[in-house]
Structure 1
Amino acid sequence: MLLHLSMNSMRSTRFGNVALSLASILWASSSAGVFAADAKSTDGPAKVTFEDDVKPILRQHCFNCHSQSDKRGGLALDSYGAMMEGGGSGEIVYDDGDAETSRLWQLVNHDDTPVMPPNQPKIAAEQLQVIRSWIEGGILENSGSKAKAKKKNALAFVASSSGRPEGPPPMPEALPQRVPVVTQRAAATTAIGASPWAPLVALAGQKQISLYHTETSELLGVLPFEEGIPQSLRFSRDGQFLIAGGGEHSVQGIAAVYDIKTGERVAQVGDELDTVFDADVNDNMSRIALGGPQRMLRIFDATDGTQLFDIKKHTDWIYSVAYSPDGVLVASGDRSGGLFVWEADTGRLYLDLAGHKGAIRSISWRDDSNVLASASEDGTVKLWDVNSGKAIRSINAGSGGVTSVQFDHKGQIVTAGKDRKVRLWDANGKQLTETPAASEAVLEVAITHDSSQMIYGDWTGSVKVSAISDPKKIQELAANPPPAKERIGAVEQTLASIKVKLTPLQEKRDATTANWKSAEKALAEMDSKLAQQNEAIAKNQSAIAAKKTQREQTVAGLPALVSKSRDAHDSVIASRLGLGESPDDAALVKAADLELSLAEQLSKIAQQRRQIVQAKKDEAALAATVTTQQTELAALQTKRAEMEKAVEVARVATEQAEKSYAAVAGELSEVEKKRQLLAEAIQ
């Protein structure tokens, strides 16, 4: 929304009115001379104090209009006490060291209007630096003053988000189980809040807040609210925190922030003289707004509880307060039908939404921050376009008055009214469904994060959960649950039944695990056999290749041997022909040597021919062996594939058994934890 984006970039101030108007603060017109701050000779940084440094500057520029004798706008600046008191629009400086949000600094530095001093040049830079240093140093009164250390609560260290959190949505982990107040019957329902992302609902009771699981109706814990009765329950935008506003009528009112997981109260603001009817936190958990019978919309720093500013425009009790989801605006509605929208950072009036003829009992923002819904005792719910400031739709949501309204993530609207009905409407105002009539007027309603259930409570204190798909399907929740000693028996019975379920699941898990391990062992043995078989085949194939190479080499060498033997044969024939009739002994010896050489050559040729034949036989035998081995290998591989499937089946069965066991074991652990918390609550 462009308008919201531009507004969000405006400078932050601390005050609800345009703060100090021209009529409220008029600075004296005086000479343009400059008083330098007194130099101080110290070993460390010099203290900047009101008496020594700031007062001389204010005397020069401001005392003519802002002193005890002439308090323009109700503001006097000639004494430290008067300055700390502020003027008609509230305080102008704070001891938090933040100059940028100081109203005094914004006006003298010309960051906001009306600029001061009026009709004069801006105060000299040297003097402005003195004022800024004084604020940042803790607004010390004199040289003996010490800056206050602001106490920060747990919210000061929270990295908040304004939307759906990553991972599982926040749910209670170990909440208190003690019931502060036990009553025979519940009081009228004052507040119901549903988590924006989790199956979790908070119910207001007497000095307590009960948290339930909306899908199981299980009581998850009880948060103490010792100040009285919670009148409003809202979750932070990311669902991590619960903001409760309430107290005791004509005695006290506060707003408290609880951590959903632990139940710890991490922040508390306000000290009203009457109860708080509604409270809400902005998108980044830095500010809390609250309203009530005192007709003041108050804005607090959520991290240290400092009151930032008041908004005084309401003329009657403030029933409803809500920040827009983007944190840019804050809306408030009162008993006289006044409905206003304010700039969240400055407190300036943004819209005056006139149209209702009865008290504004409830307001709710659509997720995109563009539409505001208001529920009134005039019987209507109006949808307001906050860009144009016009009512874009008016829904007749119940005779006698509408008491509660809430948007869901789909833009649908759930309403409750004095006609005892709860209704669900689409974004165009068409009724989708309604619940059976309650016994009394329905005062509060909420819708679950998944838009599947409506939770509502009536004047008798009865709280019901109705399924949107079948509104007649109803379950009841107790805003003031039974004490721990009455609930622990049921928890022990649950523990016993879970243990009964757990034993066979454990046996099945052990059996499937053993089967899986056995199947994996058999598969490993098979892999070993396959490796041996492949090794044997490779060895025989290598032998075949070697014999083939040797045979081919022998065959290749035969022609040379045969040729040589022919030459030798020719020499033998020639020697025989040359012997004649009476050869001498030398001729005979020579002929004998030639014949012997020929015989040796022929023998070698015959031997190599036999080797060639034998090599062929060996190759054939090895090839047959390899064929047999390969056949056996294929059979082993087929068997291995079957074994691998068996291992996978065993693994899946083991995982399923483990999952089933873990689920019940986890349930057992949670119930045991709850039993322990109940036992501690009883003690």
Structure 2
Amino acid sequence: HLLQEKGLSGSGAAWKTLIEHYSGNPLALKLVSGTVRELFAGDIAAFLREGEIVFGDIYALMEQQFQRLPAIEQELMIWLAIEREALSVKDLHEDLAHPIAKGNILDALASLRERAMIEVGANHRFLLQSVIMEYVTKYLVECISMWIRSEDIVHLGQYPLIKAQTSDYIRESQVHFILVPVAEKLIVADGEGDSVQKLRSVLTKLRESGFQVSVYAAGNILNLLMYLQADLRGIDCSNLTIREVNFSTAELPEANFSHAALTHCLFKSTFTWILCLAVSADGTLLAAGTTTGELRIWRVADAAPILTCVGHSDEIRSVAFSPDGQRVVSGSEDHTMRIWDVANGVCRHTFHNHTDMIRAVAFSADGRMVASASEDGTITLWNSETGQLLRILQAHLARVRTIAFHPRLPVLASGSDDLTVRIWDCMTGASFVTLNGHAAGVRMVAFSPDGALFASGSEDRTIHLWNTASWEKKGVLSGHTDRVRTLAFSSDNRTLVTGSDDQTLRIWDVVSAQVTSVIRGHTNRIWSVVCVPGTHQLVSASEDDTLRWWDMDSGYCLRTLQGYTDLIKAVAFHPDGKMLVSASEDQTVRVWDVQTGHCLHVLRGHANRVRTVALSPDGMLVASGSEDETVRIWDIQTGRCLKVLRGHTHLVRSVAFDPTGRWLVSGSHDQTVRLWNVHSGHIQRGLQPQQGLIWSVAFHPGGELIACSGDDPAVSLWNIHTGELACTLQGHIQRVWSLAFSANGRMIATASDDLTLRIWD
């Protein structure tokens, strides 16, 4: 009523938000009402959209109250502003850079409550009101900026800019409200270059002083240098106390950390891309299969690594826990399936039967049976204890992508590129139901934990829900804008989570068949998702090289494990032999000096891992092909990207220049070969060799022919002028990975999955 008399207006929600921002403080509300009336014509919503709630008289009021506080009370308020969430007395005691008795902390907190400067939330945890949080944060930013500019390493060590190991959404808030404003203040005052030099000077002063009490100072400097993208090659951090630093995206070549004490820091993990996930039935363990053939196991609660199992010789495409959590099964592109002991990482069984990569594995509900599905179109059932082959299921007309056992019955479901889902009787091996309706290949299937519902996700961007009692379709879930790769039911049977190449996770209510929330945060396709039993958490793995923990209710990211993907996928020598170009899974192309081993250029621009590189005959240009479906042309001297060639609809696996350097050929998993004009970047000709995925292309030294190989064992040669097939080389019995012409053009060499290398005339 008081504020309405001041000429303010807004919806009920706007009034509620305004009052909550100032915790109902009459003086603060009276002061802010004038600003809302004069600058926003009384429109509360317009004022709230500006995001600034501490200004003018409000700021003066906050400053007056804060400056009157004893030092210990100011310190506690600053820590509550840094943490940005409710804290216990224990949390505050651990945060303080110097020891203070818990009794003194309790007395200070009681005093702050009496002054209405803090609030008490659930479980006796303390937090700041919004208006006070904003004031204290601004005060901290001013102080840290001043301490850096004056090189006051004593005060700079009192507080961190971020907490490296806190929940991701909290750390992102700390970066936004504390670290970035500090960096911006330094740049405004001294410019970016001088600011970097000042930060380096402070780091040197810390190292030379040997002042170990300055707990957070070195960490603050490093976080700022990394935010400013300073060149940290050879940086000397020896003998420093380094705390609360996020090293997960840092590049620190030749850095010196000898005798440094690193605590509470966040680092890159050493795993490469994760293709599949599984969670144990009790929700305590998480298993993952990687592109390097490693099976990794983490503890779910704190992401602590438990086990790494090595044995597969190629990518692991699927993993599953046994019902008792004592074993894990893994299926790989090396055509084998393995069962591992979780207690010690020993491989109990290795199963050899499939003639192509294994796409999916699963344990039966009683754990006695294990199944594998392959690109050879078959599903194999095994005794998980003895390793005995029980049955081979055959009916699908294309590769089998996914399988799932019913949680209570001896029934198996499978999804295939033939657009169907089949339901099998495990005892007889008969397919007794075929589910149709998808318009593209089926990527993932799953039963709800109670077995009442069944879900199938497809490349057609939809999810179909089925009633397992009648196998009638219950609904179609639409909303993803790219293929659905993964899905999982929550343990309470009420929720379905789906992940897609559109980089989103969607949460669906299975009763209403409606989406309840969309989670965004990944920056590349999502490979796998699992719901953690007994919790409201889910874990997702993406091609952005991260493993993320999410809260399903809020959509907040709780934890991120940042993998380190540096596998080199291709190399090519410069014509003069003095330089080497490499293509990496870290999305870069690098140019190396062969004699010194130094990296001359890092070529950045691709949005996914780089699969292939080639150099022009004159050595002036580099061509690279990537899983981002593009080909890029680079100037090798400057490292500048000259052209981006777009047209492929799947990853580019191979590129090659013609002998004149005027033409470039590319082969892709979209099953096409394209001929490009290097100068214009335009497509000159497109070929569809009908060989499945294209793995390798090469120009004949005469420049008239292109050779290409793919999933089909035959190698084809094409005339570039007419686009006609010149000849076919037949002899291999499995896919041909690589080919190369001899320098005189009289021979061609081919290498295949059939374990042979052939030389052709």
TM-score range, shorter chain: 0.3 to 0.5
Q: TM-score, normalized by length of structure 2?
A: 0.33
Higher helix share: 1
